Amino acid sequence: MVKPMENRIHLLTGGTSGIGKEIAIACAKQGDTVILLARNVPKAEAMIQEFTQSHPNAKGSFNVVNADFSDLQSVKTACEEVRSKYTTIDIINNNAGIMNFDYQESKDGIEETLQVNVLAPLLITHLLLDLVSKNGKILFTASALHQGDINFENLEFKDSFSAFKVYRQSKLGIILLTRYLAKEYANQQVGFYAIHPGVVNTQLGRSAGWFSRLFFKLMGTTPQKGAETHLFVLGKENHELVSGEYYAKSKVTKITPQSYNMKTARALLLRCKEYLQPYIDSKKSFFETE
C-alpha cells in the first residue's frame, strides 16, 4: 500500500511512456507536483491534458521541462530551468532509458545508450542534488539485465556493438553509481535506490526486430505492474529503506558480485566525469570523491 503523498516536488524523466507514465499518473493523483523532463513536449502536454480530463480531483499537478538526453547541453539547460523555478526538490526519479538495436551516436558523438542511460541521469543528479530536500530520494531505473562487468577498454563498444552488451553495461553502471553515491552521501539523509521494474510491455524495444518486440509483448507485464516497485520505494520513508540498494519486486535483492565493487564504481564515475567535463559545475564536489 502506497502512503499518501502530499506536495512533493518530484522530478521524473521518461514520464511520457511505459513505466514512467504510470509513475507520473499515480504520483500526480496522490499529490506530487511532477516535473516531467521530456524530449517530446507536445507528447507530454497531451498526456497532461488527458490526465486532467480523466482525474479532475487529482491533488497533484504537472510541469513540463524540455530535455533531450541525446544532447548534454539540452540536459544542462533543462536543469537550469528547473533551478530557476524550484528551490527544493524531494525526488529525482531517473527513469528514462533506451535499448538501441543498432549503433547510434548522440549529438555529443557518444554511443547513445551510454549517454541516455548513464551520463544524462548522472549529470542531472550532479546539477540538482543540492536542491534535494532532507529525506529526499534519488531513484535510478536499473534492470535485471546487468550481468558481467564494465568494459573500460571499449566503454562505447565501438566496432563490437550489440544491443544486449551496451544495455547490460549501462544498467550495471547505474547500479554501481547508485551504490557509490549512497556511500558518498550517507550522512546527508538522502536515499539512493536502483529499481528493477520486471519485464514490462512498453515501447523500450521499439527499434528491435519483430521477434524481440513480440517477446516484450508476450512476456512483459503491464506498465502498471512495472511501476509497482518504484511506487513502493516512493511511498516509504528513507529510514524504512536501504540506501544504495537494488530493489526488485518491492524488496532489496542481492545481485551479481560485480555490482557491489566500489573500485569499479569509482573508476566509472571518473570516466563519466571525462565525458561530462564541459557540463560539470566545478563548484560542486560531486566528482571529487576518494
CB nearer to ligand NAP: pick between 43 and 266: 43
> Under the criterion CB under 6 A, does residue 137 sit at the interface with ligand NAP?
no
Span of 13-21, 50-58, 236-244, 256-264 interacting with ligand NAP by CB under 6 A: 13-21
User: In the chain, what is the straight-line distance between the N-terminal and C-terminal CA atoms, in Å?
Assistant: 39
Q: Are 146 and 256 in contact (CB under 8 A)?
A: yes
Contact between 146 and ligand NAP by CB under 6 A: the answer reads: no
Look up residue 206 and give its three cell numbers.
521499439
Which of 191/197 has CB closer to ligand NAP? 197
Residue of the chain from 10, 39, 76, 230 that contacts ligand NAP (CB under 6 A) = 39
Q: x/- string (CB under 6 A) for ligand NAP, residues 177-206? A: -------------------xx-xx-xxx--
Pairing type for strands 33-38 and 9-13 reads: parallel
Question: Are the C-beta atoms of residues 63 and 9 closer than 8 Å to each other?
Answer: no
Could you tell me the three cell numbers for 213? 518486440
Residue 19 found at the interface with ligand NAP (CB under 6 A)? yes
Q: Is 98 in the site for ligand NAP (CB under 6 A)?
A: yes
Among 93, 95, 169, 243, binds ligand NAP (CB under 6 A): 95
Number of residues that make up the chain: 290
Ordered alpha helix ranges (H), the chain? 18-30, 41-54, 72-85, 112-114, 120-128, 163-184, 210-219, 223-226, 228-234, 262-276
Under DSSP, is residue 84 helix (H, G, I), strand (E, B) or coil? helix
- CA-wise closest residue to 278 among 154, 173, 123, 155: 123
Does the protein bind ligand NAP through residue 220 (CB under 6 A)? yes
Q: Which of 20, 60, 191, 244 binds ligand NAP (CB under 6 A)?
A: 20
Q: What's the min distance (Å) between Cβ of 91 and ligand NAP?
A: 16
Alpha helices by DSSP H, listed for 103-162, are 112-114, 120-128
Torsion of CA 243, 59, 18, 230, to 10 degrees: 20
Q: Is position 82 an interface residue for ligand NAP (rule: CB under 6 A)?
A: no
Backbone angles phi, psi at 285, to 5 degrees: -90, 5
Quick note: the x/- pattern for ligand NAP over 223-262, rule CB under 6 A, is ----------------------------------------
Which span sits near ligand NAP by CB under 6 A: 9-17, 23-31, 78-86, 127-135?
Answer: 9-17
3-class DSSP state of 225 = helix
- Establish if 208 lies at the interface with ligand NAP (CB under 6 A): no
Shortest gap between Cβ of 3 and ligand NAP (angstroms)? 23
How many binding residues for ligand NAP (CB under 6 A)? Answer: 28
**Whether 93 contacts 22, CB under 8 Å:** no
17 contacts 39 by C-beta, under 8 angstroms = no
Query: Based on CB atoms, which residue is closest to ligand NAP, 96 or 172?
Result: 96
- The footprint of ligand NAP (CB under 6 A) covers 14, 16-20, 39-40, 43, 67-70, 95-98, 116, 141, 143, 196-197, 199-200, 202-204, 220
